[in-house]
Structures are given as structure tokens and as C-alpha cells.
Amino acid sequence: MSRLQARMADFGFESNDDYDYQVRCLLDNRVDRIRCLYVDGDSGRRNTAFANALAQALEYPHILYHDFTQQHPEPAEVILPPSRDERGLQAAPIQPLDSVLSEACAFSLAEDSILILDQLQAADFRDQIRIYQLLQSGVWQTRDCTNHANPRHLLVVLISEQELYHSLRKSSFRIWVNRISEQAVDYRPEEFGLAADAEPMMAALAELFGGLGVTPTRSEYGKLLQDVGRNVRTADQLRHSLFGWTEGADRDLLWSSELEPLMDRALSAIEEYLGVQVVELSDPGQE
């Protein structure tokens, strides 16, 4: 497990898939324009979790977030009176996008900053063009104010549930975030404080995972083993534990006749193992 993978897990995004190489490609690229990361994939809001965990893992001093589906944030505790010019004309309120972009530009002049622009499919197309122009020029224009960003310090992250505007796509490095982890891991008994005689049980569980089409993360697997040692005594109980702890587990498939042979073999292996000893598991969170 890479340091980035471990750090992202600490901040709520756990995956068997390691994104260290892709992130290095993004950050090591020459700085002549603002770096932009496009978080693509079929995982919905898991993309948002990825972006936020990445920002925390990279330890950027400033992390800013804007969701285009929430154009009207909660009002501030202190409400300033509307401003008027010398002719008595009231200025239009600053839009949330302009506000967060202005902040990002200002912070980037001195320190590393990440700006996450989420649900971009809901943005006005004109705003997408403005974001593209920012990436190219490092300038964000708001009314009569010109905001400059430092390409060495600003990283923009884009998340969209629809095809990204072509020019934005060409200006971005794309990372695919899976709905579930694709990288299978060959877990060993000693990783969870178990003796070697747990291998047949874990092999049967691995076959069951394969039939279910999931690859549990280490913490998910540890929680499942806790249930195996303390609670699982029937096939339905094993199904409930699998569904409860494993992201991406299909409930219909779990209770289908198709999976019954694998479920029976896994349960038999569990019963055989439990008949040998009482399972005492170490806490996976403390390792």
C-alpha cells in the first residue's frame, strides 16, 4: 500500500486500487498552465469522496469546494447591507462560483490550494468556458475585478456526471474512480491475527467474493472476519454480513440460487474452522 493510498483511507476513501502513479503524473507535469484533474468514473458521489480525500492526503493548506447543484448556500450569520454606487444603483450579489474562484486565486498567490468543482454537469455552459479560460490564462474575471492565480500553487479538480466540455477535458488529466475496488488482494491469516489453519476458510471466502464480483478492502475484510468469529452461524447471517460490510455487494445476487454453492462451501469452511478453535481477532484499525 502506498503512502497516498493509506492517507486517503485515513480521510474516508478506502480502495484496493492505488492512484499514486496517476497523481504523480498530474503533479510532476510542467507548470505552464493551471493543473487540472478530471475525476471520471461510474461511482457517483464516490468521486466526491475521492477528491476530498485526495485534497486532505496531499496536505494542501487551502481546500475549497463548490457544488453546482447548490447555487444558494445558507445565508451568512452577518448580513451586510446591499452596496450602491454613486448613482444609487444597487450592485448585483456576487455569485457563489465567483466567490470561491476569487478565494482560490487569492490563496494560490502564496500557498498550495485545491479547488474542487463538483457536479459540473449542472453548471451554465458559459461558466464552463470561463473555467477553461482560467486554466489557460490563470485569470478569473469578476465584474470589474481581475483575479490572478499562481499555476505553481493552484490545483483544480473537476467532477461531472456527464461528458465533460471538450476543451476542459483536453486541459485535464483524467483519473477513473471505480464504483468498487477492482484490485484483488490475497489476504493472509497473519494480517488479521489468525493462525495458518484459517487459510481454507479464507480461500472459500475468496471464491465467494469472486462469485459476488467484489474485492473487499482490508477494513471491510477485517469486519467480516469479526462477524465470522463472533456471529455468523447460518448462510443468511453470512449474507447479511457480506452485504453490511462490503461496498458494491449486490443483494439480489447474494440471495440468488446462483451463489448458493459458493455460499454453502464458505459456510462449511467457517464451521470447520470454528470447530477447531475460538476465533480471537486483532483490531484491524490498530494495525
Does residue 88 sit within a domain?
no
Per-residue pLDDT tens digits for 239-265: 999 999 998 899 999 999 999 999 999
Does residue 80 sit within a domain?
no
Domain termination site, one of 145, 177, 209: 177
Check which CATH number belongs to the domain holding 133 and give it.
3.40.50.300
The answer to whether residues 161 and 27 belong to one domain is: yes
Does residue 79 sit within a domain?
no
Residues 168, 148: Cα–Cα separation, whole Å: 19
The answer to whether residues 122 and 41 belong to one domain is: yes
The answer to whether residues 136 and 259 belong to one domain is: no
Does residue 83 sit within a domain?
no
The answer to whether residues 102 and 159 belong to one domain is: yes
228 contacts 279 by C-beta, under 8 angstroms: yes
User: Residue 215 is part of which domain span?
Assistant: 189-286
Domain termination site, one of 177, 200, 217: 177
Residue 163: Cβ-neighbour burial (10 angstroms; 0-12, 13-18, 19+): exposed
Does residue 182 sit within a domain?
no
- Rg, the chain, Cα only: 25
* pTM of the full structure: 0.78
Tell me which amino acid residue 112 is: D
The answer to whether residues 171 and 114 belong to one domain is: yes
User: What is the count of structural domains for the chain?
Assistant: 2
Does residue 124 sit within a domain?
yes
The answer to whether residues 55 and 120 belong to one domain is: yes
The answer to whether residues 161 and 196 belong to one domain is: no
Does residue 38 sit within a domain?
yes
CA-angle at 53, arms to 16 and 21, nearest 5°: 55
pLDDT in tens for each of the 287 residues of the chain?
A: 789 999 999 999 999 999 999 999 999 987 789 999 999 988 778 999 999 999 999 999 999 999 999 866 555 454 545 555 566 555 556 789 999 999 999 999 999 999 999 999 999 999 999 999 999 999 999 877 899 999 999 999 999 999 889 999 999 999 999 887 778 789 999 999 999 999 999 999 999 999 999 999 999 999 999 999 988 999 999 999 999 999 889 999 999 999 999 999 999 999 999 984 444 455 555 54
* Cross-strand pairs, 115: 64, 156
The answer to whether residues 11 and 45 belong to one domain is: yes
The answer to whether residues 200 and 265 belong to one domain is: yes
pLDDT at 78: 45
Residues 277, 271: Cα–Cα separation, whole Å: 10
The answer to whether residues 150 and 196 belong to one domain is: no
Residues 17, 217: Cα–Cα separation, whole Å: 9
The answer to whether residues 227 and 126 belong to one domain is: no
Does residue 155 sit within a domain?
yes
Domain termination site, one of 152, 177, 202: 177
The answer to whether residues 167 and 197 belong to one domain is: no
Residue 49: φ, ψ to 5°: -60, -40
